[in-house]
Amino acid sequence: MTAPKAGQRDFPYKVSESDPEVFYVFADAQAHDVSWYLELDWSSGSKSGTVRVDDHGKPFRTSGSLGRPAYDYPLGGSEWQTAAPAG
């Protein structure tokens, strides 16, 4: 499910080569091991398509951490950090 953070604008976004948009994706799986990828629908004038965002041709993988230590790699960070407990 796609949902903007509080205070952020929702889709659709208008972008250009000189005014791109950066999206940060947060994936969480409490008790499951999931493989996933994103599909981004786009349009430009009369053209449209779908771009698949994946890990060099493979799906991303998010592993549940229920009952195990969890780690985050913060934006702008340089190393993994112990994550705060979920809840």
pLDDT 10s digits, 40-73: 999 988 999 999 999 999 999 988 878 888 888 8
**Any idea where the domains of the chain sit in the sequence?**
33-82
Contacts 24+ apart (CB under 8 A), 16-24: 24/75
The dihedral sign for the CA sequence 5, 31, 71, 23: negative
Could you give the percent of the chain with pLDDT greater than 90?
31
Inform me whether the pLDDT recorded for 23 exceeds 70.
yes
Contact status, residue 26 vs residue 17, Cβ threshold 8 Å: no
Residue 58: the pLDDT is 97
pTM value?
Answer: 0.65
